[in-house]
């Protein structure tokens, strides 16, 4: 018995995926629930598992684009399936040869003729001969074209005008000649989608970035004093991201333009605070969303982010977890970035960029002191957000991070 392995439904707007990699070879024995393939979609990467024990028969190679619901492999639970199907096919072929039947000749559609009144109709054989033998009208010495010839001439002239008005086709790109040592690989669907969306964002939005810096002394002190107890109680480390999620939600409540989107000629102000958190994976950047972030505790935020990061590495994030964010936070500082200008994730109107923490000399109360400082960057859509609001939003984030109790007092 053979069990079909189909492409599952991976999201409402996703109709096809790409087979990125087969984890098993054709003919390999697989176990139930064992991952056999990696699939790339426009939004995420996921793995395809075997529904039963058996032998894998691959129908589509890696790199193929396949529709949702399409059969890409079979799991043969006994060894006779292929043989039975081959015998059946061979038997059908022999029967066809014995019968001597030839495939039916495809009937040709009847040609159309144009009547003297300009209407088209199917022409029987007699009518075709009549048209072919139709005499040319004689008006003195000049031969006058028939209605058919006149209409044909008019059509040809119209086609010529259309060809002249049409823009010249873009020249085909020249094939690239690879140099020795180069490696050429196709882009994944996730990478192609990210590239397309980033270009669209640059083309459609009036993006502008404003900067500030924040003293991380208080947050670092809180983490140091509470890390052991926090980890013991919640089973997860207390990171910086939970502080910034809290600070961003506080600022979004005061500056609603940054928690909104442009929809045609209307502005949609979101009542919920669904904060996307950018996470790097081996297959590309993904931005899972913390739903109703204003309701989450520090522990809830840290647990959710740790779970997102783990499943991003394993390719197990669900498409719906990557949709519907109203604001995004990205942290290039974990890779050593000192400063950057992040690109907005449409249709959102803002994104906050965190960066490396470095000890720098700053002036405090007339004295030069060394403090752990981080640059912050807020990129915003200037079509909806004015510079004043963007600067004040970033200042509010800075105030909350430098003096966390203010968030509780002023709430």
Instruction: Return d(Cα 38, Cα 46) in angstroms, integer.
Output: 6
Neighbours of 332 (CB within 10 A): 18
| Residue in 60, 234, 270, 382 annotated catalytic | 382
Structural tokens at position 56: 């894998």
Instruction: Return d(Cα 238, Cα 54) in angstroms, integer.
Output: 45
Structural tokens at position 375: 């640059």
Instruction: Return d(Cα 348, Cα 378) in angstroms, integer.
Output: 13
Instruction: Return d(Cα 76, Cα 247) in angstroms, integer.
Output: 55
Q: In sequence order, which ranges of 136-216 are alpha helices (DSSP H)?
A: 147-165, 189-204
Which H or E run contains 132?
helix 125-132
Instruction: Return d(Cα 37, Cα 47) in angstroms, integer.
Output: 6
Quick one: CA torsion of 225, 229, 231, 235, rounded to 10 degrees? Answer: -160
**Is 155 part of the annotated catalytic residue set?**
no
- With a CB cutoff of 8 Å and minimum separation 6, the contacts of 131 are 113, 123, 148
Instruction: Return d(Cα 347, Cα 381) in angstroms, integer.
Output: 10
| Residue in 33, 53, 292, 386 annotated catalytic | 386
For Cα atoms 13, 17, 23, give the angle at the middle one, nearest 5 degrees. Answer: 145
Nearest to 277 by CA among 331, 211, 231: 331
- With a CB cutoff of 8 Å and minimum separation 6, the contacts of 179 are none
**Is 386 part of the annotated catalytic residue set?**
yes
Catalytic center residues: 382, 386
């Amino acid at each position: 018995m053979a069990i079909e392995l189909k492409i599952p439904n991976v999201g409402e707007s996703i109709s096809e995926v790409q087979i990125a990699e087969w984890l098993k070879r054709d003919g390999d024995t697989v176990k139930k629930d064992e991952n056999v393939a990696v699939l790339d979609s426009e939004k995420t990467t996921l793995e395809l598992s075997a529904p039963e024990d058996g032998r894998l028969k691959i129908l589509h190679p890696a790199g193929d684009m396949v529709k949702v619901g399409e059969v890409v492999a079979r799991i043969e639970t006994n060894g006779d399936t292929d043989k039975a199907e081959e015998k059946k096919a061979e038997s059908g072929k022999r029967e066809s040869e014995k019968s001597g039947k030839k495939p039916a000749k495809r009937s040709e559609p009847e040609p159309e003729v144009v009547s003297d009144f300009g209407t088209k109709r199917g022409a029987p054989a007699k009518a075709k001969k009549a048209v072919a033998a139709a005499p040319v009208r004689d008006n003195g010495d000049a031969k006058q074209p028939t209605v058919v010839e006149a209409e044909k001439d008019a059509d040809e002239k119209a086609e010529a005008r259309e060809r002249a008005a049409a823009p010249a086709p873009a020249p085909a790109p020249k094939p690239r000649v690879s140099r020795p040592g180069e490696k050429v690989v196709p882009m994944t669907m996730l990478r192609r989608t990210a590239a397309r969306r980033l270009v669209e964002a640059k083309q459609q939005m009036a993006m502008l970035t404003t900067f500030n810096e924040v003293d991380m002394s208080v947050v670092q002190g809180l983490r140091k004093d509470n890390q052991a107890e926090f980890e013991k109680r919640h089973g997860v480390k207390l990171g910086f991201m939970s502080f910034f999620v809290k600070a961003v939600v506080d600022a979004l409540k005061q500056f609603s333009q940054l928690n909104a989107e442009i929809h045609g000629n209307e502005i949609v102000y979101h009542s919920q605070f669904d904060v996307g958190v950018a996470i790097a994976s081996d297959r590309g950047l993904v931005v899972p969303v913390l739903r109703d972030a204003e309701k989450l505790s520090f522990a809830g935020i840290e647990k959710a982010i740790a779970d997102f990061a783990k499943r991003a590495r394993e390719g197990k994030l669900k498409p719906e977890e990557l949709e519907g964010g109203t604001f995004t936070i990205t942290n290039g500082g974990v890779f050593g970035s000192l400063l950057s200008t992040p690109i907005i994730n449409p249709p959102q109107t803002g994104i906050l960029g965190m960066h490396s923490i470095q000890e720098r000399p700053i002036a405090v109360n007339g004295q030069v002191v060394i403090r752990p400082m981080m640059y912050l960057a807020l990129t915003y859509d200037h079509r909806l957000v004015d510079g004043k609001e963007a600067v004040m939003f970033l200042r509010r984030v800075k105030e909350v991070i430098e003096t966390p109790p203010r968030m509780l007092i002023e709430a």
